[in-house]
Structures are given as C-alpha cells and as structure tokens.
Chains A and B, each alone.
Chain A
Amino acid sequence: MNKLSEEKTLKISKIEDGIVIDHIHPGSALEVLSVLKITGKSGFTVSLLMNVRSSNGNNKDVVKIEKKKLRKKELDLISIISPNATINIVENFAIKEKFNVSLPERVDDIIKCQNQNCVTNAKEPVKTVFTMEKKGDTHLYRCHYCERTMTLEEIRNSITK
C-alpha cells in the first residue's frame, strides 16, 4: 500500500488508539466483526468500509475498532475469514505496528468439527484441535481426534454461523 492511499484511508476516520484491519476480502467485513463478537452493543467505536478501492486496484473492506486489542485467537479467526488481511495497531494517531495475518499452524478451541460422529461433538471434556496441512495452494485443517479435514470455506461457514 502506498503512503498516499494509506493516509487517505486513515483520514476517513482517524482513530486515536485501536486497530485497523485493512485489506479484508471485499464483502467480508461483517464476518470479521461477527467472529470478533463485535455487535453494536459491545461499546467499541467501529468504522466500517466496504468495497473501497485499494492501492493495487482491487476492492477491499476495512474495519477500524477503537480501544480494541487483539488476542491470538482473534487474529487466527481474522486470518481464517480473510487470509490476506493486514493489521495496523494504532497508538496516539500513529501506526505503531503493521503486519499481515497468517493462517495458524494449529487452531485450538475455535473450529467445530463438521464430522457429526466425531467424539468432540459428544459431551466430552475436550476442546477441538486442528492442524494445518497444505495441499498445493489449498489449506486444509485436520481434526486431531477424528482425523477428518475441513477446508477454509467449510471452517468459515461454521464459525460465522
């Protein structure tokens, strides 16, 4: 992202402290808010841009959340919804840190196994554990217990439900 457009984007509603989730896959901003459990009732000041032109010519969504800090689990969720998103951590109106999200190698307690006959879907005292496998360009997550795999698309559908 070049400097000019970055300034332009942030100017729309510059935030003092918080996070800017940029380069979200166009149309996925609401899903990002949903997995972060940000409803209008959670008290955060939230700005949302959908289908705006990115510096590379493609459309993107942007979400800005004031006073918000992201935990590891929330970063994992964002990466699953939109693997190309970037995170800007803003302090005192300045970008203090900027990084790309990356798909986690291991995901604990986030994904519900879609295999109905998986033991994690019974009333057992265990959390789900999935590990990433790469097959060519696609990413699969394999359940530690039943060893079935889920695609990113299937995981997205299950976590945004």
Chain B
Amino acid sequence: MLKKKDIVNIGDISNEDIFKVFENASQFKKKLSKGEKIKSMDGRIMATLFFEPSTRTRLSFESAMHRLGGSVITVSEPKSSSASKGETVADTIRMASSYSDIIVMRHPMEGAARLAAEFSSVPVINGGDGSGQHPTQTLLDLFTIWEKFGNFNGLHITLAGDLKYGRTVHSLIRALNRFDATISLVSPASLEMPDHIISTLRNPERVIKSTNLDEVLNRSDVFYITRIQKERFVDLNDYAKVIGSYSFDAETVSKMKKTAIMLHPLPRVDEINPEVDNDPRAMYFRQAENGVFVRMAIVDMILGGE
C-alpha cells in the first residue's frame, strides 16, 4: 500500500507494491495510447522543488501529474529560490506542503529527502538526493525490464560503467537484489560500486564483480549502462582507455544475446555509440518514456483511492 506514503528510497516499497506499480503503469500506458483522458488527480496539486536542476526528471514528473488531470506548482529558477536566501530545507518543505498535496524534491545533499519527509505534512517523493537515492528512476528501470521479461527471477543483469558515482545504479542494485537475479558489476577499478552500498544488500552472494565486459557479453539478459564522466579522471588518457573498453558499439552489441536489452538512464555521452540506437535491443529511449507512466502510477497510488 503506497497510500499517503513517502517514497524516499526503494526500500520503502515492498515487492508486492513494486508489481502493483508496474500493473498500473501499463494500464496508464494503454489508456494513453488509446487517447483516453484520465482525471484521477483532478483538483490535486503537485509541488516540484528542484534544488539542483534536472530537466529530465522534472519534466517527467510534471507531465505525469498533468496526464493524471492534476496541476503542478514549481520554482522556475533554483537560483532565485528560498534556498539561495539561506532558508533550510525543513522550512521550505513546511511552506510547500501547505500549498500542495504531494511534493517531489531533488536536492544535492544526501539524506535531504528523508529530512523533507519528516517535516512535510503531505507525501514526499524523492527525485534524487546527492549521490544517494533516486527511487522513481529505479522503478522505471525495473518496469522496463519487467515489460520485456515479465519477471526478474533467473535473469542475468549487468551494471556497467561508473558504479561509484552513478546514483541510479545504487538504488537499482538494492532493488534487483531482492529478486533471484544474478547481478554482474563491470566497472574500472576506480569506479567500483562502493562498499556502503554492497553492505546493504540482502543477498550479496548473487553479485559478481568484474572488470571485463567480454566476460558477460554473451550471457547477460540486461545491460544497464551508466555515464562515465570525464571529470572523474585526472588524466584524460585514462578516460580514453576506460571509454574504449566500456563502450557499446555495433561490434559489442553483435556479441550479445538476441533477446538481451540495453538500458541507460540518459543523457549518454560516449558509452553507447548512436550506431546501435536502431537495434531492437536498444531500449533506453523506451525506458525514458516509461518514466511518465511509472510516475503516474506512483502518484495515483499515493494520492488516489487504491
């Protein structure tokens, strides 16, 4: 039951609720594709508070609320917001929760969403906090896998790229590890999945670390690829080497299973060569589109009758 609940991290959502979100998201997807109008959030207001910019996440949430028939209030320019005048997150949230029925917040500090949830009188959805959690991204990632395979049990899922700073993979690995899936972590040694994430896993024995993409190419069902940021490297030669061995181009993709899929939280840089965009295994644009349906499902389940 997500009714009236905060969504701070993926641990706040039971497996049962995860599948409910998926069912509802696919319902919404069907309805919208048939051009049906949805009015379930008529008269409801979402406040989007983005203390750091993220056009993609914000548009996706706002689109979801509008498609549910609700409306959105927002701060258009984070620099003009109260935060830059020194107001605490706690006070900003108290204020915003008196103007809205649900709050979506993104903040550069870790733990900000947990704090916001404690001070808010309305449900708070974490739209990403620091390099911490980003649960709705995780749900849309999972949804895209579920749409293709119908389940997670028995799948071999590879997380590749920057596993240290990429926040999406931190949430995702926790969620995936709740199912009977094998998870391979493929990253350069300097960008490995941190221990403070590994230590939270329920079933760490299902996680295999590797530095070599070739080892998993013909075995994996899902490749979740993250952006490797140039800024993480002191020496640009190191970056070039890493990109060379972790990028997905036509040759790499040709070694993958026919049924495999590639996901990426976007925006991508050099990790995926655009030459593979039209390959049926490239699912990252569909994944981004799914964000709206999944967020519709979540908002509807939190504020709706359920």
Contact residues of A with B, CB < 8 Å? 115, 117-120, 122-126, 133, 135, 140, 143-149
B196 within 8 A of A: yes
Contact B118 A126 (CB under 8 A): yes
Complex contact B196–A118 (CB within 8 A): no
- B109 A119 Cβ-Cβ under 8 A: yes
The listed residue (B9, B118, B132, B199) touching A149 by CB distance below 8 A is B199
* B130 & A146 in contact (Cβ 8 Å cutoff): yes
From known contacts A117-B130, A117-B131, A119-B109, infer whether A145 and B114 are also in contact, taking CB-CB under 8 Å.
yes
A124 touches B196 (CB 8 A): no
Q: Do A118 and B111 touch across chains, with their CB atoms under 8 A apart?
A: yes
Interface residue ranges, B against A (CB under 8 Å):
9, 86, 88-90, 107-112, 114-115, 118, 129-133, 196, 199-200
Find out whether the CB atom of A124 lies under 8 angstroms from the CB atom of B132: no
Q: A146-B110, A147-B111 are in contact. Are A119 and B200 (CB under 8 A)?
A: no
Structural contact, A147 and B196, CB atoms closer than 8 A: yes
Q: Is the CB of B200 within 8 A of A145?
A: no
Question: B residues within 8 A CB of A133?
Answer: 199
Query: Is B110's CB under 8 angstroms from A117's CB?
Result: yes
User: What A residues does B112 contact at CB under 8 A?
Assistant: 119, 145
Q: When chains A and B are docked, how far (Å) is the Cα of A147 from the Cα of B133?
A: 10
Contact status of A124 and B88, CB under 8 A, knowing A117-B131, A119-B109, A146-B132:
yes
Who on chain A is nearest to B131 by CB?
A117
Q: A140-B199, A147-B110, A147-B111 are in contact. List 14 more A-B contacts (CB 8 A).
A: A119-B110, A119-B112, A119-B114, A122-B88, A123-B86, A125-B88, A133-B199, A143-B111, A145-B112, A146-B130, A147-B132, A147-B133, A147-B196, A149-B199
B130: chain A residues within 8 A (beta carbon):
117, 146
Secondary structure dominating the interface of A: loop
Given contacts A146-B130, A146-B132, A149-B199, contact A118 B90 (CB under 8 A): no
Chain A residues within an 8 Å CB radius of B111: 118-120, 143-147
Docked-complex contact B131 and A124, CB < 8 angstroms: no
Name the A residues within 8 Å of B88 (CB-CB).
122-125
Q: A117-B131, A126-B118, A140-B199 are in contact. Are A145 and B90 (CB under 8 A)?
A: no
Contacts of B131 in A (CB 8 A): 117
Please name 28 pairs of A and B residues whose Cβ atoms are closer than 8 Å in the assembled complex, sorted by A.
A117-B108, A117-B110, A117-B130, A118-B110, A119-B89, A119-B129, A120-B111, A123-B86, A124-B88, A125-B88, A125-B90, A126-B118, A135-B199, A143-B111, A144-B111, A144-B114, A145-B111, A145-B114, A145-B115, A146-B109, A146-B110, A146-B111, A146-B132, A147-B9, A147-B111, A147-B132, A148-B196, A149-B199
Instruction: Name A149's closest neighbour in chain B (CB-CB).
Output: B196
The chain B residue with its CB closest to the CB of A126 is B115
Contacts of A122 in B (CB 8 A): 88-89, 109
Contact B110 A145 (CB under 8 A): yes
B11's closest neighbor in chain A, by CB?
A147
Tell me how far the C-beta of A155 lies from the nearest C-beta in chain B, rounded to whole angstroms: 15
**A157 CB → nearest B CB, Å:** 18
Instruction: Tell me which residues across on chain A come within 8 A of B9, comparing CB atoms.
Output: 147
When distances are taken between beta carbons in the complex, the residues of chain B under 8 Å from A125 are: 88, 90
User: B89 and A124: CB pair below 8 A?
Assistant: yes
With beta carbons under 8 angstroms apart, the residue of B89, B109, B115 that contacts A117 is B109
Contact of A124 with B114 in the complex, beta carbons under 8 Å: no
Provide the residues of chain A in CB contact with B86, threshold 8 Å. 123
